[in-house]
Structure 1
Amino acid sequence: MGRALAPLPVNPTFLSLFLLLLHLISPFQPVEALGFQFSTFDPSADYGALEVKSPALIYNDALQLTPDSSSGTVDFMNKSGRILYKQGFKLWDGPPEAPTKIASFNASFVINIFRINNGTPGEGLAFIVAPDLNLPAGSFGGYLGLTNATTDGQTSNHLLAVEFDTFKQDYDPDANHIGLDINSVESNQTVPLADHGFDLAPNHTVFFHVWIEYDGGQELLEVYMIDEDESTPTKPKPASPIMTASLDMSKVVNQNSYFGFAASTGDNVELNCVLGWNMTVEELPKGTPAGLVIGLAVGISAAALAVAGVAALGVWAWRRRAAARDPNIVGTLKSLPGMPREFKFKDLKMATGNFDEGNKLGQGGFGVVYKGVLAAENRQVAVKKFSRDELKSKDDFLAELTIINRLRHRHLVPLLGWCHQTGMLLLVYDYMPNGSLDGHIFCGPERQTLEWSHRYKIVAGVGCALHYLHEEFDQIVLHRDLKASNIMLDSNFNARLGDFGLARAIDDEKNSYAELEGVPGTIGYIAPECLHTGKATRESDIFGFGAVILEVVCGKHPWRRAGFDGFQFLADWVWSLHRDGRILEAVDGRLGGDYAVEEARRLLLLGLACSHPIAAERPKMPAIVQIRSGSMEVPRVPPFKPAFVWPSAGLLSEDGDTTDVTPMTSSSRFGSGWRSRDVSKESDAGYNDSSPV
């Protein structure tokens, strides 16, 4: 037995401070997060990540949990299905009888429950935490794909679910409620939705955005919910939950469990669709938590306590920094091909004067852009700081970075690097000394108007950039937000296309991209077919390019509430002048006649050709490049603006490329609805946003 040492005196104040420090750091574990994001679903890629239990399938950019009417299946009745993420998650730590830690998680998803032929809906769908990837046999009807007549209510199910029920069973309060299900479809807690103005399965298309948040420390589950139909814009997460429940998850689910969705039909049927899904789960330590355990035993000196205190403080500071750095995002970034350099936050903070307001170049819905100077390199940069809520900022950051990191063209704003530290998401671009194009076209008397040679060169540069995105890159890239405020000018007034926050790359075999939240863009730049299809195409980008051409030549916004001689849209006014043989009267009067007449005429006609209401009639980018250079004539522009035609099938251009303007029907994942989303205030990588909207 060891010899006990006499205790040495310890300063009471130091001991109190040290014990407080121990209290702060001993239970502390860095909040590392695991998770995944599906803004839409692609059967060619997502079957590898998702376990899809038939008759569920990935179809029409959505998870179809029960048979979908547009997939060719006609047998809807008495079906159940599940789709789960294949990777399991550790949800609690320690012995089963006394867990030491329960993981927190956040789920965000969008659902659409659609009545077939406006019939009685049934049965419902559920978000689930399951012990395995199986689908119970006989789980159709009221069992919602969760349990069956034999297993319902058994604690061995280890099943947790939040149900969205559309059919009243004997044990249900009504046919329109959410419920918390633990090992059984007889809910432990229900919330009738009529009291909140919600109808899960109305006679029209409604999307429900749902947030399910579980706090493992407080053992508290909260469900938030909003409805978004075709007439309402995207709404933020509500301030208050629609359901709150105390829940010790460790007493219900397996230590390693799976997240996903389940649904069923019975004698009454419905379409059960999930249109997007983001998931974040707190990562628990794989072994024994590395805590600092110090016994104030007899014989420990004050000096030893001091050394331990300094070491503990260092560990705490290191862990806090690590917690602010999302390992999933960092890992994703470093795995991207051609990824530019990673900047240190302290360098960007110093470069921008701690993101001083005086260095702000522009602000939009996605974030703020600041001017900075990297002292060590004596280089000016533009630093984009994403500022939406945490989940959306990560989406915005990764969406923009994964598009632009591989793009290399002399008419694109160069991306220099990125930074993700202290919880901030930053992109670093080359600084454009002449700012954005709109600042020169729509300028006041204090700034000299942009001369014609610069305007012509700018249109040519934007055309080259768009040709690269559409035709020369190894994927088709749709910019989706072409406008003057997103076109930057370098020191020689060369155009540099920027703001790829809305850009999306599509595979060669595809020709369109559909946005979950509706049609992004700005009034005057959005092609008319997009408002009906909800899809962006190369043709819709060309429509936006036509609007840019006209605003550059005319010096006017493409849309103005006050109008242009009775026309709210610039293209309509220019078309009326073309009809009357006076098209050159559209040229910016501030030029005072100092412009090349033939160049101006060609650009105005090209702008109208790109603004053609019928997508298939717009010129392609290879032709546009030749038209601008003078090697090809401008296509004939009719004297009267043609009417927009919404065809019943996609129009084919000469090379067989469809414009993808097929209208959506009730059999599609969106039902019969479409939504338009104006993001004129969400443009920020262009440094400033002077949209009239």
Structure 2
Amino acid sequence: MAACFLVLLLLLVFLASPASSTTTTTSLATNGSPAAGSNNATTFSFAGFHPDLRNVNLTVAGDASITKDALQITPDSLNDAADFLVNKSGRVLFSRPFRLWRPLNATTTNNGTTTAAKNKKQLASFTTVFTVNVFTDPNTDPAEGIAFLIAPSSSDPPTGSHGGFLGLTTAATDGNATNGIVAVELDTEKQPHDPDDNHVGLNVNSVVSVLTASLTPHGIEISPPSRAAKYNVWVDYDGNARRIAVYMADIEKQPLQKPSKPVLAAPLDLGEVVAERSYFGFSASTGTKYQLNCVLAWNMTVEKLDEDEDDDANVTEPSKKKSLALGLAVGVSVGVLALFAGAAALGYYYMCVVKRQKTELVQGGDGGSGITGTMIRSMAGGPREFEYRELRKATNNFDERMKLGQGGYGVVYRGVVAEDPLANPGNGGGAGSTVEVAVKKFSRASTQGQNDFLAELSIINRLRHRNLVRLVGWSHDNGELLLVYEYMPNGSLDQHLFSLPSPSPGGRQPLGWELRYTIIQGVASALHYLHDQYDQRVVHRDLKASNIMLDAAFTARLGDFGLARAIDTDKTSYTEEVAGGVHGTVGYIAPECFHTEKATRESDVYAFGAVILEVVCGRRPRCDVEGFHFLVDWVWRLHRDGRAIEAVDPRLEGEFDEDDAERLLMLGLACSHPTPSERPKAQAILQILLRAMLPPQVPPFKPSFVWPATTSMGFDTMSTTAETTSSQVSTVVTSTSTWSGNLARAPE
């Protein structure tokens, strides 16, 4: 630790020394006030990029990733280009927005009188410098480009924004004023509106630049064929003059010096284009031709407007006070040398100090509450922060009569809170309007409790799907950990499946067939989103009927992400690092989990199969029926005898569609296959439920569970008969991994 501070002290002394004669100064000062080195500016620096920054300081969306100490805005892969490099788009954004303008309601003249200032705005100035590397395979042509982006949200790039749309817009939305985006593009593909295939452009709500400039006269080639060029790019915005300027220099030729002349400069009124609070970051795309778009370092300083709150904005690291005290938030006036020296210091500080803080958090060290709060506030989308006393009042001091449910991770209470007008603008709710919520109070305000709290919050904070329970906010006061969700007035699915019918008006009634089918479709859609459509693969790990909630319209909402974990796209499973053992609920746990203690998408599918059978049959997965202890075994026996339809819930009194019932029962058995690789993927499951695909062929006898599994490709590969080699079959004692492999020797 002493070595860390010694290095930082030496860097601080160096930064305090006069700038060299080659340093170009750029001032952010407005109205005579200092732009940095005080509370009037926010600075963050990344000397490199570690995967741990994902979902903490950086939002990674679309086809982007953080690997090899860089932001890979489009994929970097040695796999087949047609599948992994072509027609991709990605974004990486700083995880919290910045206030870029504010309305001015009045002005004061020299004589002290106040006059109206209708439609006038104060704009924030900013400056950024980043190192970019665009690499093209010598055997291909480069395309499409990379852009520095100002966006209204941290959402994924729009669907269809690959090719020439740079991950910014689509053919349907290009040019719309509602896009609210500004970008500085480095383009390597000539479109009809471009001067050439090596230019910089200013984009406002469109990929058709309002101003372009060829980089060839400046001796700059974005993606030269003979080498992997690295460039420093400066983007300066003067809020007073409402003007943007872009500078660019080859690191090999000008390692630290900012050019005296910009490659592009133009008037730009951000107050007329972007959202008041907007995100900074990068966007890129590939088309039929492709290139690797990498950002290697990034430093940025943004002016704080007069009425901005000091809201932990220096959040390159969770400890704002230490970074400020060490003088790392340096002013842009010291030039590029100081910027990158500060970035290096901050990077070293991250390694020495912050990682220790994270370790202390896991170990339950002092200050964990503060670190947790800072980490949450830095998350993209900024979930609403509640005061503990507000939630205590909302739940009538956590009254037992307000309890909605209880699990291993805490108790859930019903509550009523004041509605957040910023979260639902234009919904008609005025001052004093309230909204019902479900407050999850973690039962372990300790080491593991904090880990569970952060894990659940970090995942669900950015999930956006109609079949997922929406997060409303959080609270971390007085050692209490609380998450606030939207209230589900119809409770959970299991309550409707297994509670006795109520004769009273409005009482709980058995679910009809159509509603059951729709609920299963909704859960399948949520599972497909988690497994395939979110920017990370998410395994839920506790999919069961009691975690499927029903809103006022009986729409299925998958909830309780206390066990959920995100896994990197190049991995297939998640292993619990803190505490071993199998997580989940008996009857929903896939058999291989008892051997591997790993969660996979296939184990989620197994649990979903149990849910399907539970909903169709009206019985719990773990039940005693006709000599069987598990529902799946009973249904498989009925299927063998050609009587699967008899498994349908008798409480439906025959009011169901037999074709759909057969479809669901076969799908439920397919998802329950003992071999992980034989289970259908979430996308195929959804297609089957939408009646766009035939249900899978299920063998009449339940295959035996074999471990290790016969496929050598891992859980994340759908095996076929052709993939099962003779050497694999020879190692199997009781079965093979194909659907028909157990017919000959399955037990009666």
Normalized against structure 1, the TM-score is what? Answer: 0.48
Higher relative contact order (CA 8 A, sep 6+): 1
